[in-house]
Amino acid sequence: MDVLQLMDEWGPEKVVCVSDRRTGMKGVLVIDNTARGMGKGGTRMSPGVTVTEIARLARVMTWKWAGVDLFFGGAKAGIVFDPSSPDKEAALRAFARKLSNEVPREYVLGLDMGLTERDAAIVQDELSDRGAMMGAPAQLGGLPYDELGVTGFGVAEVADELMAVNGSLRGKRVAVQGFGAVGAAAARRFAELGAVVVAVSSVHGALVDPDGLDVARLLDLRASSGDLAVKEYGPVQALGAELRVPCDVLVPAAMQDVIDADLAGELDTTLVVEGANLPTSVAAQEVLAARGITVVPDFIANAGGVVAAAFGMDARYSPFPVNPATVLDAVSEKLRANAVRIVAEARDRGTTTHVAARELAQERVLTAMKLRGRVA
């Protein structure tokens, strides 16, 4: 592919591709736009990572930071490697070394698909810099995002705020696609808020029960068996059943590009809260809006991670740990207010919520670019 074709009026400002012959690691860093601050975004590891994928996600980070009005720039990194490989640590260390010119001066790594809190500690160790990667274990002074479940927590808080228009989230049916860090944390918080989780899924299949799943049992199974938790819980259905089950709130929290226009026409829900990045196509967003189904865009709904990252970045060289309760309170307050604002903006502008949210973020980024003299 021609990397130059990725560039438009917003970015990317820098694309760095790296490789390591000993481990076979290949990787890419995309710094999209730094008008509002240095590049900050997650780092994922998967055999299928592509430059285009990482560039798309870096752009999402640009809008996400601007959408929550926090001062960092959009960036993302990816490692083409199998996270289940016994050579994972060697590949991760090689990736960190190859980016030592950019990390942490221009970009600070974060946790995403395929990486854990221990991996964050390994990167910090490799670069001898506590500020090189966010999400390290609390025992090393880090703010453990996955352990706290900040992103999934924020997704549920958004749903609770918007469902309050119709009374309450309590007793409402929720379906969650994905039962990883985001989906599991969202399911936990939904249960705490009194919702009935009627479906969850992992790569091994979908669990569907109109009367409600036992979330506490599922979480226990996940702690011991990971993605296999759904099969150990009970009979699973084919993937996709979790998206089609009748519900009040649907949370796609797995991968990008899972809801197209055709599927959008089939969904039986009133609210879609995007826990994953880029789960709906533009055509799907238009279909959902035409059907009167409210959609909370990814970079608004799943921004709990960036709010937590902002706290982590602020304290990355401090000897004093961040109070998790402070972080969760900030995630709830900021995401609830943002979701309400975007839904209202979409109504006032006569657009989809994605367009309204992106226009608001673009206005903030463009203002910063003008102030810095990057555009006329």
Q: Which residues are documented as binding site for substrate?
A: 40, 64
In the chain, ranges of CATH 3.40.50.10860 domains:
13-60+75-141
> Do the Cβ atoms of 173 and 248 come closer than 8 Å?
yes
What ranges make up the beta strands (E) of the chain? 14-20, 25-33, 39-40, 43-46, 73-80, 107-108, 173-177, 196-202, 205-208, 249-252, 271-273, 294-296
Terminal-to-terminal C-alpha distance of the chain: 31
The question of whether 76 is a catalytic residue gets the answer yes
Q: Specify the pLDDT at position 2.
A: 85
- CATH H-level superfamily of 148-303+340-357: NAD(P)-binding Rossmann-like Domain (3.40.50.720)
Question: Based on the number of CB atoms within 10 Å of its own CB, is 8 exposed (0-12), middle (13-18) or buried (19 or more)?
Answer: exposed
What predicted TM-score, i.e. pTM, was given to this entire model? 0.89
> What's the average pLDDT block by block, 10 residues per block, for the chain (376 residues)?
90 98 97 97 96 95 94 98 97 98 96 92 97 93 88 97 90 96 96 98 96 98 94 95 97 94 97 95 97 96 94 92 94 96 95 96 97 94
Q: Specify the pLDDT at position 256.
A: 87
Q: Which residues are documented as binding site?
A: 40, 64, 151
Topology, domain 13-60+75-141: Rossmann fold (3.40.50)
Distance CA 123, CA 353 (A): 37
Catalytic residue among 14, 76, 88, 334: 76
In the chain, ranges of CATH 3.40.50.720 domains:
148-303+340-357
H, E, C per residue of 261-323 = HHHHCCCCCCEEECCCCCCECHHHHHHHHHCCCEEECHHHHCCHHHHHHHHHHHCCCCCCCCC
